[in-house]
Amino acid sequence: MLYEFQVLTDINIDALLGNYNDRLHWIKQRGYNPTLFCKELEGNINLVILRLEGNQAGGVFRNEDVIHIFKHQISEILAEHIVRDWEDKLLRKEIIRSCRHLPLDERNSVHQRAADFLKKCHDNESLNLLMNFSRKNRITHRLLDYISANLTMNVEGFINFCMQDYLTELKFAVEVALEELRNQKEYNDFINLLRYFVDTQAPKIYEVNLMMGAAGIFYLWDGQGTKIEENYINYYLDEMLMDEINLDDVLISILITIAPRKIILHNVANLNSEPVEMIKSVFKEKISQCPGCERCFQYSSEKDYKG
């Protein structure tokens, strides 16, 4: 019995070769001899010949069964080749097509964001693994259908003509990455505007201490320990009551209005929130963290801390 399938690919095949040998132990144990031959053609095209030889007349498995298993193994190997070795090239091709107006550094940013999105489009790591497996599994089934009806495959042609849904997924990833980049640029422009505003006005209070509590609650006091937020919160009270503005926006607005030259952040455990990150971006070198003071200790030890 002799079965042979030929693959044409212009992507590096080192990983494919190693994967081929790793996956075929079961077939080898049944006395069959799977081999692989590779030849480089013009234009850096690799011709890969996947061959299965052997005969198990009278065995548990018929030759046809082993050939089908071999085809399935080839499908899995080629699916991994596409996802691992081709996906980066396909992403770059889509970025060149849809983002040619962007400078090189921004195109590279879109590429990185798109690749990250394909690998980690959900916060749940288990869901990421499941979705990546599902994408590769769909490619495997499409490959198996093709291999069952053909003896030769050009990988790029197969992707372009038989995997339009896969290309649509990559296009969507690029669109998501492009939107993220636009949002990031708008955010950076907004931060720069706030920074300019802060740097060009006189501070109403030189030093502000900030302690973040649960559920967005915050406490502000000046260098002498006097609470300062109440007078400023009253200005936003009507909008807060109508749900037109939240506490995070109020905090940032208060600090922008005060424009302090020094901000001390307390209660380090609660400093990874979005408003605090924005405050750090706007005030930068004006920010310092409290190493631990009486108020920090009081907050951590009292459930009903009042500031």
The 10 Å Cβ neighbour count of residue 250 is 21
**Distance between CA 282 and CA 240 in Å, rounded?**
23
Average the pLDDT over 33-42 and give the result. 90
Confidence of residue 216 (pLDDT cuts 50, 70, 90): confident
Contact 6/153 with Cβ under 8 angstroms?
A: yes
The 10 Å Cβ neighbour count of residue 20 is 20
- The whole-number pLDDT of residue 15 equals 81
163: helix, strand or coil? coil
Radius of gyration of the chain (CA): 30
**Distance between CA 296 and CA 159 in Å, rounded?**
59
Q: What share of the chain is helix, strand, coil (3-state, %, to 5)?
A: 65, 15, 20
Cα–chain center distance at 228: 41
Confidence of residue 275 (pLDDT cuts 50, 70, 90): confident
- Is a pLDDT exceeding 80 seen at residue 60? no
Average pLDDT, the chain: 86
Contact 252/283 with Cβ under 8 angstroms?
A: no
103: helix, strand or coil? coil
For the chain, domains (ranges, CATH) are: 2-192 (no CATH), 207-301 (3.30.420)
For tokens 């060149």, what's the residue?
96
Confidence of residue 126 (pLDDT cuts 50, 70, 90): low
- The whole-number pLDDT of residue 54 equals 86
- The whole-number pLDDT of residue 14 equals 83
Listed residue (278, 263, 271) closest to 299, CA to CA: 271
For the entire predicted model, the pTM comes to 0.77
Count CA atoms closer than 13 A to 15's CA, side-chain side. 13
- The whole-number pLDDT of residue 217 equals 81
- The whole-number pLDDT of residue 267 equals 80
pLDDT in tens, 179-196: 999 999 999 999 999 999
- The whole-number pLDDT of residue 298 equals 83
**E strands, the chain, in order:** 2-9, 33-41, 45-53, 152-154, 207-212, 218-222, 262-266, 287-289
**Distance between CA 132 and CA 166 in Å, rounded?**
12
